[in-house]
């Protein structure tokens, strides 16, 4: 399967399948992530494996939202890293949005591997949950965050998200942008902006659209980022910062 020629009608699908299996082998993706990837394959098949015009509209909205944010953060899980690690690093750089690792199945070892994987793909810094800072309203491992990342972000880009976290972030008043091939999923239905598309097709388009908007508008991302630093969204008390002994 690793030697499928580009001319093969299933080339792109098989290439992504290899990437996600390689992600498991590298300790970046969880075995359950393979099942999630399969679900995506099925929905993509039904979509004709093309980016629809309404997905392009959502990508436009996502690009604008990321650029207008004061503190956007890109949340990365094992599947996203394995499938579009390089593109996420490019989006982070273009939109001046830090990368933060946030995974569903608890494993600080895998969190470190994802961060390392992103660094190997060009990231200069990757935020990790510090193990003491929690986002309110979530029971799973995903509640643990970095105090300067998702906890304090106004716009969070979370491709391939689970429904619980998307709902929790929305309850906290955050703007959530997601990429999800299942338009019926809780994530797709509760996110602020849902890009119903294959993440491998959507990410390069999103990076290009962000760059185009910057070129067209001369938006001052740095001014927005600087302004934000003095207005934290969530107080330390609200964020339930736990003592190290907890």
CB of 32 to a copy of itself, least distance (A): 7
CB of 230 to a copy of itself, least distance (A): 42
CB of 221 to a copy of itself, least distance (A): 37
Query: For 220-242, b where at least 16 C-beta lie within 10 A, e where not — what string?
Result: ebeebeeebeeeebbeeeebeee
CB of 57 to a copy of itself, least distance (A): 24
What is the phi/psi pair of residue 195, to 5°? Answer: -95, 105
**CA distances (Å), origin 216, targets 6, 211, 220:** 35, 9, 12
Q: Which residue, 60 or 162, is less far from a copy of itself as judged by CB?
A: 162
Q: Which residue, 25 or 231, is less far from a copy of itself as judged by CB?
A: 25
| Measured distance CA(122)–CA(41) in Å, rounded | 28
| Measured distance CA(228)–CA(210) in Å, rounded | 20
> Residue 155: in which H helix or E strand, if any?
strand 155-157
Q: Which residue, 23 or 149, is less far from a copy of itself as judged by CB?
A: 23
Site of interaction with a copy of itself (CB under 8 A): 1, 17, 20-21, 24, 31-32, 34-43, 45, 182, 184
**CA distances (Å), origin 105, targets 31, 69, 75, 130:** 10, 29, 15, 16
CB of 102 to a copy of itself, least distance (A): 18
Q: Which residue, 99 or 199, is less far from a copy of itself as judged by CB?
A: 199
Q: Which residue, 45 or 54, is less far from a copy of itself as judged by CB?
A: 45
């Amino acid at each position: 399967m690793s030697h499928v020629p580009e001319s093969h009608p299933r080339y792109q699908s098989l290439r992504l399948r290899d990437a996600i299996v390689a992600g498991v082998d590298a300790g970046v993706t969880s075995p359950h992530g393979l099942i999630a990837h399969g679900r995506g394959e099925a929905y993509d098949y039904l979509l004709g494996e093309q980016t629809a015009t309404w997905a392009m509209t959502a990508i436009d909205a996502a690009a604008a939202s990321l650029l207008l944010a004061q503190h956007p953060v890109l949340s990365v899980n094992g599947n996203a890293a394995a499938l579009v690690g390089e593109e996420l690093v490019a989006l982070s750089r273009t939109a001046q949005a830090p990368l933060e690792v946030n995974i569903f199945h608890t494993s600080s070892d895998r969190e470190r591997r994802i961060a390392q994987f992103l660094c190997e793909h060009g990231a200069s810094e990757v935020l990790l949950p510090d193990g003491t800072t929690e986002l309110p309203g979530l029971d799973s491992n995903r509640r643990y965050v970095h105090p300067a990342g998702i906890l304090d972000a106004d716009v969070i880009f979370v491709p391939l998200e689970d429904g619980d976290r998307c709902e929790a972030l929305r309850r906290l008043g955050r703007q959530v942008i997601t990429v999800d091939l299942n338009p019926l999923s809780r994530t797709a239905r509760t996110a602020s902006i849902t890009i119903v598309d294959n993440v491998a097709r959507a990410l390069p388009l999103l990076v290009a659209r962000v760059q185009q908007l910057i070129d067209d508008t001369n938006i001052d991302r740095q001014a927005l980022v600087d302004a934000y630093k003095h207005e934290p969204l969530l107080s330390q008390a609200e964020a339930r910062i736990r003592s190290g002994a907890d």
